Amino acid sequence: MSPLPTRLSIDVDAETTVSGLLQSPADPLAVYVLAHGAGAGMDHPFMAAVAEGLAQRRVATLRYQFPYMERGSKRTDSPAVAHAAVRAAVAEAKRQLPTLPLVAGGKSFGGRMTSQAQAADPLPHVHGLVFLGFPLHPAKKPAVERAAHLAQVHCPMLFLQGTRDELADFDLITTVVEQLGERATLAPLPDADHSFHVLARSGRRDAEVLEALLDVTAEWIGRFA
């Protein structure tokens, strides 16, 4: 087990403060600024498991709430508000662990808001982006418009995608990543859905998928150490 996370307050602007959780091993190689998905906050068991698993692999994490989640609302923030939260969290991670290389991203909505912020104006000190299930389109509505901004992201990107993800048709996300060229890497997780859940008949278990996700993520982030 890694040390328990430290709870933080992060100032987004003069009127908005959100909660954060910094979880770091004794000898971290890097820090991942990890944003939550649209429907569940930073305390969700998946988020906690990712943070714990990465700490065991010498990657610190800073999880944080978007303002709407902090308020208990179900309606996500506007992109401008979400991007401001991403920037505040990245700045806080740099203040907390100033000597470590930074990567940013997150689960679904959180990853997409991070990439939009990076595309609009590069996040200071961020070496790369990690997406835990990039939400390419709504369920059963295959499209690639949500990926258009990725052309303006010039740092390395890692896409961890389940091959059964209803929010990212696997053929489409494969094409998107290929079009981004050498700066983008696709890590398929066979049989996994958007929550990285696998069906029993696949012969695999959710725990195996999570371990694979953590191994790939830690190895990729380690390249910046």
SS (H, E, C) 20-34: EEEECCCCCCEEEEE
Buried b / exposed e along 87-124 (16+ C-beta atoms within 10 A): bbbbbbbbebbeebbbbbbbbbbbbbbbbbbbbeeebe
What pLDDT score does 202 carry? Answer: 84
pLDDT tens, position by position, 46-101: 999 999 999 999 999 999 999 999 999 999 999 999 999 999 999 999 999 999 99
pLDDT tens, position by position, 124-136: 999 999 999 999 9
Give the residue numbers spanning the domain of 197.
6-222
For residue 65, being part of any structural domain is answered with yes
pLDDT tens, position by position, 159-194: 999 999 999 999 999 999 999 999 999 999 999 999
- Please choose, from the candidates 16, 216, 197, the residue with its C-alpha nearest in 3D space to the C-alpha of residue 130: 216
> In sequence order, what DSSP letters do the residues of 110-126 get, joined into one string?
HHHHHHHHHHHSPPTTE
For residue 26, being part of any structural domain is answered with yes
Distance CA(132)–CA(50), nearest Å, equals 10
Distance of CA 222 to the CA centre of its chain: 16
Domain count within the chain: 1
For residue 1, being part of any structural domain is answered with no
- Please choose, from the candidates 131, 16, 115, the residue with its C-alpha nearest in 3D space to the C-alpha of residue 68: 16
For residue 142, being part of any structural domain is answered with yes
- CATH number of the domain enclosing 50: 3.40.50.1820
For residue 182, being part of any structural domain is answered with yes
Distance CA(43)–CA(69), nearest Å, equals 11
For residue 66, being part of any structural domain is answered with yes
pLDDT at 1 over 70: no
pLDDT-derived band of residue 204, with 50, 70 and 90 as boundaries? Answer: confident
For residue 162, being part of any structural domain is answered with yes
Distance CA(103)–CA(112), nearest Å, equals 14
The answer to which of 101-105, 201-205, 206-210 has the lowest mean pLDDT is: 201-205
What pLDDT score does 201 carry? Answer: 85
CB atoms within 10 A of CB 193: 17
What DSSP state is assigned to residue 78?
A: P
For residue 192, being part of any structural domain is answered with yes
